[in-house]
Chains A and B, each alone.
Chain A
Amino acid sequence: MADTGQKALIEAILHGDSNAYRQFIEQYKNLVAHVVFQLIPNPIDREDICQDVFVSAYQHLKDFQYQSKISTWLARIAYFRCLNYLKKRRAVLFDDHTPEEMTFDDVASASFDPYEDTEKKERLVLVREALAQMPIVYRTILTLYHLQEMSYQEIGKVMELPSGTVKSYLFRARTLLRQRLTAVNQEEDAW
């Protein structure tokens, strides 16, 4: 299902064209980084893991069958690479939390328009804090659905889950986040 442009790019990479692989990396690094940064709490390890994902992708590119999109295939490599990393660190997949607390300044200074309203930034901080407390499966699904605009089927392929399960996890995750935001707003209103 990969289009002809992607096919040509992969052929070029397989023929040893370093510029083609550079282009491939540029094209997909955000996808890989979104997954890795969402799942790996330790900032020092994130870049290394992203590199590992691309090295592994290169090594397995010759086995790519064009039966799925490259983005799905690559997200899958990234997801399982993260799971391995976390397993090695004895992280419990369904009881995972991020030790570092994200501050308002972290988010405010990251990549946002200074003229954006503070309410939106506060919401961003809240959502990201709440996300960090969520199970890895929820976080991955939210990232792939909302940032990568993948379908349930594609996410299912990435994570080896039935698409019905993907949908129910996605809905559950968003419901939890909405409840959390509402609870915080009500606390604030009570002051």
Chain B
Amino acid sequence: MVTHLNDERVQELLDGQFPIFERREIEEHLKSCDACRERVSQYEELYSTLETAPDTELSRSFARTVLRKTNIEEIGSVQFGLTQVFAALAAVIVVVNTLLYFIEWNSLKGIAAVIGKSLIAFVPALSKSGSTTLQDVDIKGSLVFIVGAVILFLLFLFDRYLLQPRFRSSN
């Protein structure tokens, strides 16, 4: 004999916690009891509302941001941006140029003049119509250009495979 369903029993019913025979008895009772049917229907409405997913939209960049944050935690101070890489590149080229010209003309000019020459050397090296009076400088300039390119390439490899975070976004 089934008595009226209290809150707990209705919830157990809807949670599927009754064995089949007990369930049948309850269903029989519901056929003839308006009060219990009303209560069950209230809970059914409540369950359906609770099962409606709320709007929890995250930004489109959510995953990307998490990956970036994870990198910071993971790689820490080793992580360099492109700016730092190119600043390092520029510094290396200047040092190499200075050294090359310093070795060539160390007895003739001071460091200021050497830097000046190295700057001049770049012009004929880059534009193939090099001045004939500066033929030796032109050759030097080409050498500097090649050294610079090699350094650039090495730094690119270094950046690509060592400094970049493991979780670099793949798309």
A residues contacting B by CB (< 8 A) are 16, 18-19, 21-22, 25-26, 29-30, 33-34, 36-38, 47, 50-51, 54-55, 58-59, 110-112, 120, 123-124, 127-128, 142, 146-147, 171, 174-175, 177-178, 181-182
A-B contact pairs, 12 of them (CB 8 A): A16-B167, A18-B170, A22-B67, A29-B58, A29-B62, A36-B56, A174-B43, A174-B46, A177-B50, A178-B42, A178-B43, A181-B45
Contacting residues, chain B, for A177 (C-beta < 8 A):
46, 50
Q: How far is the CA of A165 from the CA of B51 in the complex (A)?
A: 22
Residues of B47-103 whose CB lies within 8 A of A:
47-59, 62-63, 65-67, 69-70, 73
Nearest CB on B from A109, distance (A): 9
The reply to whether A175 and B70 form a contact with Cβ atoms under 8 Å apart is no
Asked if A178 and B56 sit within 8 Å, CB to CB, the answer is: no
B23 is an interface residue with CB less than 8 A from chain A: no
Interface of chain A, main secondary structure: helix
Shortest Cβ distance from A108 into chain B, in angstroms? Answer: 11
Q: Interface majority SS on B: helix, strand, loop or mixed? A: helix
B8 at the interface (CB under 8 A from A): yes
Nearest neighbor of B14 in chain A, beta-carbon distance? A174
- Give bound CA distance, A124 to B50, whole Å: 8
Task: Using CB atoms and an 8 Å cutoff, list the residues of chain B in contact with chain A.
Answer: 7-8, 11, 42-43, 45-59, 62-63, 65-67, 69-70, 73, 166-170
Contact pick for A38, options B46, B51, B54, CB 8 Å? B54
Q: Is the CB of B170 within 8 A of A127?
A: no
Query: Are B63 and A22 in contact, with the CB atoms below 8 A?
Result: yes
* With A33-B56, A38-B54, A146-B50 already in contact, 17 other A-B pairs whose C-beta atoms are closer than 8 Å: A18-B170, A21-B67, A25-B63, A29-B62, A34-B56, A47-B62, A51-B65, A51-B69, A55-B73, A59-B70, A110-B54, A111-B53, A127-B46, A146-B51, A147-B50, A181-B45, A182-B42
Q: Which residues of B sit under 8 angstroms from A26, Cβ to Cβ?
A: 63
Within the assembled complex, what's the spacing in Å between the Cα atoms of A34 and B67?
Answer: 21
CA distance A175 to B5 in the complex (A): 13
Contacts of A123 in B (CB 8 A): 45, 49
Whether A147 pairs with B51 at a CB distance below 8 angstroms is: yes
Q: Which residues from chain A contact B168 at a C-beta distance below 8 Å?
A: 18
The answer to whether A178 touches B170, judged by C-beta atoms less than 8 angstroms apart, is no
CB distance from B65 to the nearest CB of A (A): 6
Compute how far the CA of A147 lies from the CA of B48 in the bound complex, rounded to whole angstroms: 10
Cα-based distance from A58 to B169 in the complex (angstroms): 16
Establish whether residues B43 and A47, one from each chain, have CB atoms under 8 Å apart when the complex forms.
no
Which residues on the A side are within 8 Å of B67 (C-beta)? 18, 21-22
Instruction: Give Cα A166 to B23, complex, Å.
Output: 24
7 nearest interchain CB pairs?
A110-B55, A33-B56, A18-B167, A146-B50, A16-B166, A175-B7, A37-B56
- Contact between B73 and A59, CB atoms less than 8 A apart: yes
Within the complex, the shortest CB–CB distance from B43 to chain A, in Å, comes to: 6
Partner of B66, one of A25, A38, A112, A178: A25
CA distance A174 to B63 in the complex (A): 34
Check if A19 sits within 8 Å of B63, measured CB to CB: no
- Which residues of chain A are near B70, meaning CB under 8 Å? 21, 54-55, 58-59
Quick one: given A51-B62, A55-B69, are A21 and B167 in contact (CB under 8 Å)? Answer: yes
